[in-house]
Amino acid sequence: MAFAHNVTSLVLSILAWIFFIIGCIGNSTGDFNVENAPWIIVNPDGNAEHIFFGTQAFYQENNQNGTPEDLTKYSNCENQFSFCTPCKDNGRVTFAMLCIAVIFAAFAIIFSTVLIFAEVASVQYTNLAFTSAATIMACVGWSVFMHRCYNAIDDATNHLEYGAAGSITLLGFLVMGVNVMVNIWSIWSIACPCNATAGASSKGTPAAVPQTEVEEAKPVV
């Protein structure tokens, strides 16, 4: 059972690592990356125009009115739009948290691989620590940006949606959260005394050895 747990942990760690990388791409200031890996997508007034928000810039696509495509860094629009400052500051925090989550997920991949070939208790606990830390970092990073920047952008005239980077990062820390539970289950299955008892009973108990009564010596007449 422990082998299956460790293989599952490895697969989940790889998936979460990939998802966190995609979230980090949203920190780019390149128009292609911001457009294709945004954290938030805004459709003002429900028209054909879309604005894609990354963690460091937002990109306005071309629309039917002929408005030119434009990439704007938050640091260049703080005097123009009220959302630029909170999105810039929280975007940096989110990017830093995701970078740490990527590193922790990479260590989780390494330790999960080691556990497949050699089940060592200390490595199992270390893997649990790294998966837990990656989950916490990604969760905090996602919450900071998607709460504060999202609220700063949101108003009655804007229709907001989660972009690819925001949605995939959310999926990433949920996957890593499942990984934490898999590691806890694996440790419990090894450490629980009831499992050792069950294992011993499954092998069968030795048959009782019949005991013969010792006859008392009869006196010789």
- Whole-angstrom distance, CA of residue 124 vs CA of residue 185: 11
pTM given for the model: 0.77
H or E element that contains 12: helix 2-25
What is the rounded CA–CA span in Å between residue 188 and residue 203? 21
* Cα diameter, the chain: 131
Highest mean pLDDT among 46-60, 128-142, 184-198, 205-219: 128-142
Q: Could you tell me which residues come within 8 angstroms of residue 76 by beta carbon, excluding any fewer than 6 positions away?
A: none
How buried is residue 104: exposed, middle or buried, by Cβ count under 10 Å (0-12/13-18/19+)? buried
Q: What is the pLDDT of residue 6?
A: 87
pLDDT tens, residue by residue, 76-96: 888 888 889 999 999 999 999
| Residue 115 in tokens | 């556990």
DSSP state of 10: H
- The residue-averaged pLDDT of 18-36 equals 86
Which one is predicted more confidently, 172 or 218?
A: 172
Specify the pLDDT at position 65.
46
Measured CA to CA, the distance from residue 17 to residue 102 in angstroms comes to: 6
**Cβ(37)–Cβ(22) below 8 Å:** yes
Check whether 68 has a pLDDT greater than 80. Answer: no
Buried b (16+ CB within 10 A) or exposed e, 68-94: eeebbebeebeeeeebbbbbbebbbeb
Q: Which of 151, 145, 148, 136 is closest to 167 using CA atoms? A: 145
| Mean pLDDT across 171-179 | 94
pLDDT at 208 over 80: no
Strands (E), 11-65: 40-44, 51-53, 57-60
